[in-house]
Amino acid sequence: MGLRKGDQYVEGLKNRQHVAIYVMGKRVNDITTNLFLKPSVMSFKATFDAAFEEDTIDLARVYSPIVGEEVNRFNSLHSDPRDLVAKVKLLRKLSHKTGTCFQRCVGWDGLNTLYIITRKMADRGVKTYHDNFMKYLEYVQRRDLALAGAMTDVKGVRALKPSEQPNPDAYVRVVEERDDGVVVRGAKANITGIAAVDEVLVMPTRAMTEKDAQYAISFAIPLDTPGVKVVVGRQLNDGRRAEGGEIDGLPYMFNHEGLLIFEDVFVPWERIFLYRDWTWAGLLVEVFSYYHRQGYAGCKSGLGDVIIGAAYNLASQIGVAGKAHVEDKLVEMTFLNETMYSAGLAASWEGKKVAEGPGGWWVNPMYANVTKHLVTRFPYEISRLAHDIAGGILGTGPSEFDLKNPEVRQLLEKYLQGVPEFTAEDRLRILRLLENVSISVAYLIESVHGAGSPQAQRISIQRIYDYKYAEEIAKRLAHMSKKPLSGVEPRRASDVEKT
């Protein structure tokens, strides 16, 4: 089958059987025409179209030795640091095309993670999971499937391990083993793009102990497998999608997240990539989350470009773009934006090969965490500065339907206009775009919590930085020690580098 165009992806979604997706209390059979979810489909679709559009074709396609032809990069393995760089650049570019999260990176990070983990297991003598995974990867690449990655369990009582929970299904677990596979139960939360995919890759969300063995499971199944249910979450301003307008809901594309529920779902053995071997669960989480932390450099800096551009245009519309205080704010926004991006590029160029074979290139652990930690803060400041430049009208402006009422329109045309080159409608269009992007789930809340909350990065940074080595550097200069120093950066190996 090979590379699919966006329209083929959308057609494929219509062919799913038994898919159980709930939006605001109603079951939705065809999400491609549902007013609430269609914008998410359009955003996901952009990842397919990118492989055919002139300005992204080189970034979005890559040769795969697994199938011997070009595949969509979103289903590829990283075989070189340049692949990691291309990921960040592709994500920045796709943010420009969508103005939101395009939802396909979690499945991609899941594929690269499972390659590394199953390959390491194979190197230690357990070959089944790597065989299963490589067959699955070939299947995904040949069909150019849309994947979601599902890691975060609902977690119940946060201080308790999976096996200690009052609700035994607070983490996804195996409830029955059969000759042909297993039956799983539980739920995964905040799953990006989940209603808009062909298949979902499920992974454990934390390190486990022997008692948690039934929870140590990773697998992939089609979303329309019987027993799988999706409850889609709400977002700010989502009601505008149903108003039938063409300005207030700009940029027309949005991501969605959902609760993914497994009500005794059958998974065949050949679709299982980890089971009962709890020792690998923590490692899998480390590999996955650092991949996703690196990726945020791309998509969030791309959204930053949209916001900076909108703020610049609004300043131009009211004749203040050349004023020193506005220029200063724009420079500050640019500095913050490019800092996030630079950290992600460093995480890519300084990537590490941690598993043999065609994949196995992983991000630099320190810089991936630094990237995501910057992303938990800088988008809020970039948004604040953009709101400052935009003025109070960002929160008080009229609706596009006022503009469509001839009586009101002539007044708005007179009183909303700044410099004569731009109309009142121009002003409203950029304001709405800025509002919907800069206060969105994709730019703010996801920036804090996606790929791990801020505390998760702080723990990682603390573990990776070698404080003893830094102390030696200081002690030498203070003539307290003559110990020879070796490396440049004070670093301790992450768990996956040690394994």
List interacting residues with Fe ion (CB under 5 A): 446, 450
Per DSSP, the chain holds a count of helices (H) and strands (E) of 18, 14
- Asked if 296 is an active-site residue, the reply is yes
Q: Which helix (H) or strand (E) holds 73?
A: none
Q: Which of 152, 192, 371, 499 is catalytic?
A: 192
Interaction residues for ligand SF4, span 179-198 (CB under 6 A): 192
Number of residues that bind ligand SF4 (CB under 6 A): 12
Least separation, in Å, of the C-beta of 150 and Fe ion?
12
* 251 near ligand SF4, judged by CB under 6 A: no
* 74 near ligand SF4, judged by CB under 6 A: no
Place of tokens 């499937």: 145
Q: Which helix (H) or strand (E) holds 222?
A: strand 217-222
Q: Which is nearer to ligand SF4, 365 or 450 (CB)?
A: 450
Least separation, in Å, of the C-beta of 339 and ligand SF4?
17
- Asked if 446 is an active-site residue, the reply is yes
* 362 near ligand SF4, judged by CB under 6 A: no
* 340 near ligand SF4, judged by CB under 6 A: no
CB atoms within 10 A of CB 466: 16
Q: Which is nearer to ligand SF4, 12 or 298 (CB)?
A: 298
- Asked if 290 is an active-site residue, the reply is no
Q: Which is nearer to ligand SF4, 162 or 193 (CB)?
A: 193
d(CA 229, CA 16): 13
Stretch that binds ligand SF4, among 101-109, 261-269, 275-283, 399-407 (CB under 6 A): 101-109
Pairing of strands 228-232, 257-268: antiparallel
Stretch that binds ligand SF4, among 96-104, 334-342, 372-380, 468-476 (CB under 6 A): 96-104
Name which position in 102, 133, 278, 280 contacts ligand SF4 (CB under 6 A): 102
Q: Which of 286, 400, 435, 446 is catalytic?
A: 446
Least separation, in Å, of the C-beta of 289 and Fe ion?
11
- Asked if 98 is an active-site residue, the reply is no
- Asked if 299 is an active-site residue, the reply is yes
Q: Which is nearer to Fe ion, 400 or 446 (CB)?
A: 446
* 253 near ligand SF4, judged by CB under 6 A: no
Residue 102 binds: one of ligand SF4, Fe ion, none (C-beta under 5 to 8 A by kind):
ligand SF4
* 296 near ligand SF4, judged by CB under 6 A: yes
Asked if the bond preceding 379 is cis, omega within 30° of 0, the reply is: no
Q: Which of 78, 292, 373, 387 is catalytic?
A: 292
Least separation, in Å, of the C-beta of 450 and Fe ion?
3
CB atoms within 10 A of CB 365: 29
Q: Which is nearer to ligand SF4, 12 or 452 (CB)?
A: 452
- Asked if 113 is an active-site residue, the reply is no
Sheet of strand 147-150: strand arrangement: 147-150, 199-202, 217-222, 272-275
168, exposed or middle or buried, with CB in 10 Å at 0-12, 13-18, 19+? middle
- Asked if 101 is an active-site residue, the reply is yes
Least separation, in Å, of the C-beta of 4 and Fe ion?
23
DSSP structural state of residue 196: G
Place of tokens 């203070």: 478
- Asked if 152 is an active-site residue, the reply is no
Q: Which residues have CB under 8 Å from 276's CB, separation 6+?
A: 213, 214, 216, 217
Contacts 24+ apart (CB under 8 A), 63-68: 64/141, 65/358, 66/134, 66/137, 66/138, 66/141, 66/358, 67/138, 67/141, 67/142
* 303 near ligand SF4, judged by CB under 6 A: no
Residues 329-347, buried b or exposed e (16+ Cβ, 10 A)? bbeebeebbebbbbbbbbb
* Spatial contact of 257 and 440, defined as CB atoms under 8 Å apart: no
Residue 286 binds: one of Fe ion, ligand SF4, none (C-beta under 5 to 8 A by kind):
none
Residue 295 binds: one of Fe ion, ligand SF4, none (C-beta under 5 to 8 A by kind):
ligand SF4
* 450 near ligand SF4, judged by CB under 6 A: yes
SS3 at position 295: helix
C-alpha closest to that of 72 among 167, 173, 141: 141
* 106 near ligand SF4, judged by CB under 6 A: yes
d(CA 359, CA 148): 20
* 48 near ligand SF4, judged by CB under 6 A: no
Residue 71 binds: one of ligand SF4, Fe ion, none (C-beta under 5 to 8 A by kind):
none
* 59 near ligand SF4, judged by CB under 6 A: no
* Spatial contact of 156 and 187, defined as CB atoms under 8 Å apart: no
Q: Which of 290, 291, 296, 312 is catalytic?
A: 296
C-alpha closest to that of 87 among 361, 338, 334: 361
C-alpha closest to that of 118 among 151, 77, 80: 77
DSSP structural state of residue 399: P
Name which position in 144, 248, 446, 472 contacts ligand SF4 (CB under 6 A): 446
> Which residues does the annotation mark as catalytic?
101, 105, 192, 257, 292, 296, 299, 446
What residues line the site for ligand SF4 (CB under 6 A)?
91, 101-103, 105-106, 192, 295-296, 299, 446, 450
